[in-house]
Every structure is written in C-alpha cells, then in structure tokens.
Amino acid sequence: MTVRELDAFFAELDPSKRQPGGRDGLKWGDPDTKVQAVATTWMATLSVVRRAAAAGCNVIVTHEPTFYWDDVRSDRTEYEIAADNGTPFEAKQRLLDEHGAAVIRIHDLWDSYPEWGITAALARTLNWGNRISELGQVPVYQVQAVPLGEVARYAKVRCRLAGLRTVGDLSRVVSKVALAVGAFGGLGTVGRAMEQGADCLIGGECSEWQVVRFCEDAGFGMILLGHAESEEPGMGTMAEFLREELGLQVHHVCTDATFAYL
C-alpha cells in the first residue's frame, strides 16, 4: 500500500468529511511512498516524529496540525510570521524529510466516527456505555449517582492523568454526564448538554473567561482533561482500526502530556 492509497482509504470512509482545502488529508511527504509502518498520534510533535522513526514508521496519522496552524484558516498572517522565524517549523520539516516520513491528518472524519472515533474512544476509556442522548447531539451518559469530585477522580485514573481541572461544587451529586472532546467551543455546547438533562460535562479545553465562568454561575459541573488528553484515546483506537481493516503494522505513539503539574 502507498501513502496515496492509505489517504484514499480514509477519504472513502466518509467523503463528506474530505473537502478541498479542508483539515483532513496528506499534509507532508511523497504520496507514492510505500507504507512500511504507521504511527498514530494526537499531534506530530518533534518528540513523536523521533519516536515514530525509531519504531520503523514512515507514515504518521495525526489528529491535529503538524505545523501549529489549523489547515482551514484563510488568514495566514500570524502563521507566516511564526514560520518565517524558522524553528521549529524548519526543524520538523528537516526531521520528516530525513526519515522519509509522510504525515496524514485525520480530524473531521475521526471526531465522531462510530465505535472507533475520538468521542467513542473517550467513552470507552471511561467505561461508559449507557448513552441517553440522541445521535447528532452532544453525547450524554447515564452514570452512577456520585459527587462530582468522585467522577473527576475516576476520570483522572481511567485516563491516566497527572492532573485535571474541575469547575463547580465537588460535593454535588451528578448522574448524567456529557462528553465534549478537544477544544469544544463556546456556550452552545454547554447549552446542548443542559437541554438533554446533563448535570456536568467532561471536556478537553474551553474559554475560561466565558464557558468556565458561565458554568460556575449556572452551578453546572465541569471536568477539563486537557485537549490532547481527551482525544489521545481515539488515536489509540485508530491504531486498532487500521490493524483490523488494512492489516498494517501500526504503533500508537502517545503525544507527551500537555502540562506538568507542580
């Protein structure tokens, strides 16, 4: 299989997610390169590229941009200013070329992909299967009624985190938890969770001045895992998916923790 054929496989899974100039697709490398082994990861940082190469992988399937800028942004000014300063843009490009590595980004396809995708994988990590919301909505799960603090500690252990952040009264009992992976946007996400009866939300990251303070005033619990930490499980299942569907040699190369907690 070539890199081009692997990219075409992803595109065919849901053609509606593959638009010209969109997020998903081949972002670096020769499309005619033969795939030796694949590394899946949340983001192709310098550390990830090095570890992928050490594992014999010449293709990296990443969820987030490799060069620090969302691919669909039309205003490139800030990106160009940063890129003109050279490193780490040039360092990463040199490293990828040194190892003959290609990078395919799979974002829009994988966020809500059934059973295997980013949101489904976080629910699986948390061992939650009793989804009570309708498809297409912010997913809400019925869980055992326990204090918010206990849910937070459970999520910390299940996701193997050094730390997380919480909003709200940790002693307040909750039983319906919404999931919102990654950078889950503004108040609309919280509103949709509330409309479905959720009394707290587990997410990645959000606006602190807007969403966090709204939840504080509304008495709505929130547990923030971190953007990468909420989505990395889904790139782990991507590795399983590619092994099962294509029989490829695939390694999941975990992105380093976003923060150190002092």
What letters, b where the CB count within 10 A reaches 16 and e where it falls short, cover 200-220? bbbbbbbeeeebbebbeeeeb
- CATH class, range 118-229: alpha beta
What pLDDT sits at residue 97? 96
What pLDDT sits at residue 70? 77
What pLDDT sits at residue 79? 63
**Cα(24)–Cα(71) distance, rounded to whole angstroms?**
8
Please give the distance of CA 91 from its chain centroid, rounded to a whole number: 24
- Which residue type sits at 202? I
Task: For the chain, report the end-to-end CA distance as a whole number of angstroms.
Answer: 46
45 token code pair = 């940082």
What pLDDT sits at residue 75? 58
State phi, psi for 183 to the nearest 5 degrees.
Answer: -90, 95
Q: In the chain, what are the domain boundaries?
A: 3-109, 118-229
- CATH class, range 3-109: alpha beta
Q: Which whole-number Å values give the CA distances from 186 to 120, 135, 157, 241, in the listed order?
A: 21, 20, 27, 31
> Which pTM value belongs to this model?
0.93
Indicate if 118-229 has the same CATH topology as 3-109: yes
Taking a C-beta distance cutoff of 8 angstroms, is the pair 63, 107 a contact? yes
**Cα(186)–Cα(214) distance, rounded to whole angstroms?**
10
Name the region of 235 (left: φ>0; alpha: ψ -120 to 50; beta: rest): alpha
What pLDDT sits at residue 128? 95
> Smallest Cα–Cα separation from 194: which of 176, 206, 213?
176
> Smallest Cα–Cα separation from 210: which of 227, 181, 188?
188
What pLDDT sits at residue 81? 65
What pLDDT sits at residue 84? 66
pLDDT mean values, one per 10 residues, the chain (262 residues): 98 93 93 98 97 98 91 62 73 94 97 95 96 85 97 98 96 97 91 95 96 96 97 98 98 95 87
